[in-house]
Structure 1
Amino acid sequence: MHVAFLTPEYPHPELKGSAGLGTSIKNLAAGLIAKEIQVTVFVYDQQKDVVFNHHGITIHSIAKRKFKLGGWYLYRNFLQRYVNKFITQNGIHVLEAPDWTGITAFMSFKCPLIIRLHGSDGYFCNLENRPQKTKNRLFEESALRRADYILSVSQFCADLTDKIFNLKRDIKVIPNGVDTAAFTPEKESEVDFQLLYFGSIIRKKGVLELAKIMNLVFKNEPKTHLVLAGADVKDIFTQRSTQDLFLEEVEPQFHKLIFFKGGLLYNEIKAEIAKASVVVLPSFAEALPMTWLEAMAMQKALVTSNIGWAKEVMIDEQTGFTVDPKNHEKYAHRILELLSNSALREKMGAAARRHVDSKFALEHVVDQNILFYKKVIAD
């Protein structure tokens, strides 16, 4: 079997920055290779054209092309020709693409196309209660309707996407998988009273609510400090740095307790998770977050949001706490409860690891995907 992925991101030093989407594809690709399944990854919108092999995975870095007119169509047409060439030459059996901005709209491929729902622009606009650009809506709806099959990383994402686009299609749910051999507990690295947020510094991830929450935490436990690991993103509403907006919400006397690390490499993120006493992830908009799974796999107690997908990942009061991020007092109370009780942290962290092992471990998720790919090819 030969499986290919078309994606705007993939974590590798030769490519542009990557987030949760790229990590989930990398994990799945590595798991497929371990099962002796051939994998090719086409990464578009890159800075240069180059083909290379990384841990048995063939990676095509495809540079973004500029056109005077109709670039949205001409670049898609170029990608279609490029990918179809290798589908034919290399015997690719199935191609998978994400839903984000509908890259496969108006494309036709020489093998079955699966779109996996990681959260489209329409999905996130709905969660953030803001209008979607007409162009993005057109592309995403077209791509979803033209796909041969649709997968989703969570039932919540599947149901909401089906409702937004009125698809009325069967959507198979297979969660993201985390490499539990790579993300393992490192208790000896833990730093007392250190909180960690990791992910993009962006409004939809709840960071502005976290700023207000931290005012309450710092007042009640002055030894606490917060590390934020992730790239700063221009705020969609104010067009300002979200990091600056965060600091404006935090009382000035507490600024010395906050440390921004910026975007970090894979191993650097693992090191920061290992140091954390508690991981705080108050996101308003996810499909099925890799950050949550990685922290849980490293046996960390979490305080997360309680929205939609959260019930498919977390078990409240067992693997950590799930709280509405707008309830600043309760969210801060849960953080302080964990900071003050190491036995509770260890108990919840161990439960989080067991939950990941049973439901999200990469080997289980890879097997589910292989069965699905085999069905697609047989059909």
Structure 2
Amino acid sequence: MSYRLTIVIEALDRGGAEWHLLQVLPRLLGHNFEVEVFCLHHRGELAAEMQRRGILVHGSDVPQSSLLVRIGHLLVRAVMLFFHLLRRKPEIVHFFLPAAYILGAPASVLARSRIRLMSRRSQNRYQKQMFWSGFIERQWHHRMSAVLGNSQNVIEQLSEEGVPKSKLYLVYNGVDLSAFGRQIPQQVARDRLGLSGEALVFVIVANLIPYKGHADLLQAFAKIKEHLPQNWALLCAGRDDGIGSLLQDMVEELGLTQRVHWLGSVKDVPSLLAAADIALLTSHEEGFSNALIEYMATGLPTVATDVGGNPEAVLNEQTGIIVPAHNPAALADAILRLALDPSLRQKFGTAAQLLVRERYSLEACVENYVELYRKILEEHGLKVG
């Protein structure tokens, strides 16, 4: 017997949660689940690939518009979700990210959906800017069958928000080990990017959003640029969410022109990482980063900030170096230390690759979802074969 699973998210744009779903959902099809995605705002650039992998995506293609029009569209789509759930009657409705939770949860309650789950994939700092969102989310927590976090830090915050421990579940992200792991020779990857084999290459995969800390990273490189090997480059991959021009101005002001390369959204992340020597993540807040475990699966030593699930993924002084957030000086010291010590880079990278294989494989992640869904189905009296 198969069970219907409806995933609700604002859109399938290129981001950590969306990429996570693209990897996980198609693999649920082999475990007796009929899976669909309902996008509350627009389909997003990953929707076509999601459908190609066998997952039906419901959503509209709407142009960017004013905030008021956007909110109105979200409310209309929430009503449409209500009627969709009435018709479809999925056994499980699973919300990803705050907008889907805030607007989708009431639709699922009114539609009397039997099992409701929510996944929080970031720290709850956003509630400080939108205090009303925290209030609304707390009202729905007790109506969920289970609430998921992707790091122990997120789980602790959810517990502080009043979610009973009996409803809390930790499901780490997983990485497809067949895609990462330097299957592509480093020189081949560098040739594609126009980089020399002798260059020392740094990489950061993060959308250009203020809390991702790119400004801190540029300041750190400005502090150590005279001490780095002569031929070095920083590759910045990620969608520009509005601060790209400001960061480019910083590059010129800090004398980093010709060193920093803005690549935009990158589809072939494994090839990009294969070209690198050192990986970076400088966030001010984080849930549990897909980028980190992709770095580690590639065998890269990593410098990451001490926020969210970062220190759970990157073991300090074992697979990389953890530094305080908002601290360009500490970031600079860690980067320079790895830059000048090839043997330490090799030691950390090898340990990182082993850790990912043991703890963060995509297969383990999918199995955790399957076990959780089956457990909750059984708790609701539904037979699982």
Same fold judged by TM-score > 0.5?
yes
Shift of the 283–159 alpha-carbon distance from structure 1 to 2, 3 Å rule, reads: same
Query: C-alpha displacement at 1:58, in angstroms?
Result: 2.5
In structure 1, the gaps of 5 or more residues are 11-16, 235-240
Query: C-alpha displacement at 1:35, in angstroms?
Result: 4.0
Q: Distance in 1 between matches of 2:43 and 2:96?
A: 20
| SS of match in other structure, 2:118 | strand
The AA in structure 2 aligned to 1:57 is: I
Q: Distance in 2 between matches of 1:32 and 1:70?
A: 33
What is the aligned counterpart of 1:207 among 214, 233, 243? 214
Q: Distance in 1 between matches of 2:287 and 2:119?
A: 11
What is the aligned counterpart of 1:188 among 178, 185, 194? 185
Query: C-alpha displacement at 1:341, in angstroms?
Result: 2.6
Q: Corresponding residue for 2:246?
A: 244
The AA in structure 2 aligned to 1:75 is: R
**Structure 1 residue 58 corresponds to structure 2 residue 56:** yes
The AA in structure 1 aligned to 2:91 is: H
Shift of the 325–218 alpha-carbon distance from structure 1 to 2, 3 Å rule, reads: farther
Q: Distance in 2 between matches of 1:112 and 1:24?
A: 22
Query: C-alpha displacement at 1:274, in angstroms?
Result: 1.1
| SS of match in other structure, 1:348 | helix
What is the aligned counterpart of 2:80 among 78, 82, 87? 78
Q: Corresponding residue for 2:265?
A: 263
Q: How does 1:23-172 map to 2 (within 5 A)?
A: 23-35=19-31, 37-46=33-42, 53-63=51-61, 73-87=75-89, 92-101=90-99, 102-107=102-107, 108=109, 109=111, 110-119=113-122, 123-125=124-126, 130-134=128-132, 136-163=133-160, 165-169=161-165, 170-172=167-169
The AA in structure 2 aligned to 1:161 is: L
Q: Distance in 2 between matches of 1:308 and 1:46?
A: 28
1:106-145 superposed Cα distances (whole Å, 9 cap, x missing partner): 222433111111127xx1326xxx53253x3344333433
Shift of the 167–36 alpha-carbon distance from structure 1 to 2, 3 Å rule, reads: closer
Q: Distance in 2 between matches of 1:31 and 1:69?
A: 33
The AA in structure 1 aligned to 2:203 is: L
Q: Distance in 2 between matches of 1:378 and 1:64?
A: 39
**Structure 1 residue 287 corresponds to structure 2 residue 290:** no
Q: Is the Cα–Cα contact under 8 Å of residues 9 and 19 in structure 1 kept in the other structure?
A: no
1:272-315 superposed Cα distances (whole Å, 9 cap, x missing partner): 11111111111111111111111111111111112242222111
Q: Is the Cα–Cα contact under 8 Å of residues 9 and 21 in structure 1 kept in the other structure?
A: no
Query: C-alpha displacement at 1:19, in angstroms?
Result: 0.3
Query: C-alpha displacement at 1:264, in angstroms?
Result: 2.0
Query: C-alpha displacement at 1:71, in angstroms?
Result: 5.6
TM-score (norm 1): 0.84
How many residue pairs match? The answer is 353
Shift of the 30–298 alpha-carbon distance from structure 1 to 2, 3 Å rule, reads: farther
Instruction: Name the Cα RMSD after superposition.
Output: 2.8
Q: Is the Cα–Cα contact under 8 Å of residues 99 and 144 in structure 1 kept in the other structure?
A: no
Q: Distance in 2 between matches of 1:249 and 1:29?
A: 39
Q: Is the Cα–Cα contact under 8 Å of residues 278 and 300 in structure 1 kept in the other structure?
A: yes
Q: Distance in 1 between matches of 2:157 and 2:218?
A: 29
Q: Is the Cα–Cα contact under 8 Å of residues 228 and 261 in structure 1 kept in the other structure?
A: yes
The AA in structure 1 aligned to 2:241 is: V
Q: Is the Cα–Cα contact under 8 Å of residues 210 and 325 in structure 1 kept in the other structure?
A: no
Q: Distance in 2 between matches of 1:31 and 1:72?
A: 29
Q: How does 1:10-21 map to 2 (within 5 A)?
A: 10=12, 17-21=13-17
Q: Distance in 2 between matches of 1:70 and 1:275?
A: 44
Q: Is the Cα–Cα contact under 8 Å of residues 92 and 114 in structure 2 kept in the other structure?
A: yes
In structure 2, the gaps of 5 or more residues are 188-196, 380-385
Shift of the 68–182 alpha-carbon distance from structure 1 to 2, 3 Å rule, reads: closer
| SS of match in other structure, 2:365 | helix
Q: Corresponding residue for 1:224?
A: 232
Query: C-alpha displacement at 1:82, in angstroms?
Result: 1.7
Q: Distance in 2 between matches of 1:219 and 1:69?
A: 49
Q: Distance in 2 between matches of 1:68 and 1:310?
A: 33
Q: Distance in 2 between matches of 1:174 and 1:312?
A: 13
1:54-84 superposed Cα distances (whole Å, 9 cap, x missing partner): 2232222345699899665443121121233
The AA in structure 2 aligned to 1:125 is: Y
Q: Corresponding residue for 2:204?
A: 197
